Amino acid sequence: MASYKDKVVVVTGAGGGLGKAHAIEFAKRGAKVVVNDLGGDGDGTGKSDMADVVVEEIRALGGDAVANKASVSDKEGAQSIIDDAVNAYGTVDILVNNAGILRDKSFKNMDLGDWDVVMNVHLNGSAYVTKAAWNLMWKKNYGRILFTSSTSGIFGNFGQSNYGAAKMGMLGFMNVLAIEGVAKNIRVNTLAPSAETRLIGTIPGVEVNPDNPDPMRHPKLVSPAVLLLCDDDAPTNKTVHAGDGRFHSSATFVNKALQFGPDVTYEDLLEKKDELLDMSNVEEMNGLIRLRMREKQANEDN
């Protein structure tokens, strides 16, 4: 518990649901928390004082928190989130990119405006806030960054092409920043959560009670994974799934490459199609593994 004492934590989209649960758990352990939330509906429209309510709840528990009501999808708003953290507490140690919206439709029926707004909040919003925090973390040689993905992106889900594309983008973003941050003790991971929240309630045909969720679907059951991925001994470049009291990891795996000469043709590859697509003998691969492989090869060559 001591590892979070006086750590400065920014949680976006923390006015309710998952973000609120994360913010409270950090605060309980002595962290100073910036609670960001525009306070809009699940589709991104409107605004309210949800962030203030969470701040008051944290203070009632004896914690320390301030509110920010900017939109992560606005560059100046995103910068203000980090500025408020610095103005209140002097720095940022941990950033949890949680803010998100849903606008679900099959791709055939989707207006591209709904594509753009979902991408802007999830992917661009995460980039804007992370960029605002990155140089601070770089200069002090410490940072923990968490992106929020989803099984809708990692595995796919009907009617969520915009959301799924944005959520899979989190993994690509993580893969690169984990490499760029490793020398500066900036560790970057991704969470794929599952919980009963008001956001889920925007999905057609899905009924939830976010004010009184099923105990095994409560957002607070996800937060242990968030704290684990953001502590001093956090891993980097990992994706952890959390929800319903269950926790597991996923990763990218590759099979053995087929080697051909300079005259390879479509017919050559077609002949080896089954072998190409066979995933019975694979190994994990990510950017850090590739980096270490290149470093090892360079050392051997020297």
In degrees and rounded to multiples of 5, residue 114 shows phi and psi of -70, -30
CA atoms of 83 and 36, how far apart (whole Å): 12
Exposed/middle/buried for residue 190 (C-beta within 10 Å: 0-12, 13-18, 19+) = buried
Q: Find the catalytic residue in 4, 128, 163, 266.
A: 163
Q: Is 163 a catalytic residue?
A: yes
- Residue appearing with tokens 């606008």: 103
Which residues are paired to 34 by β-bridges? Answer: 10, 66
Give me the half-sphere count of Cα atoms (radius 13 Å) on the Cβ side of residue 137: 29
Q: Supply the angle between the helices 125-140 and 75-89 in degrees, to the nearest 10.
A: 40
2 half-sphere exposure, CB direction, 13 A CA radius: 0
Catalytic residues: 163
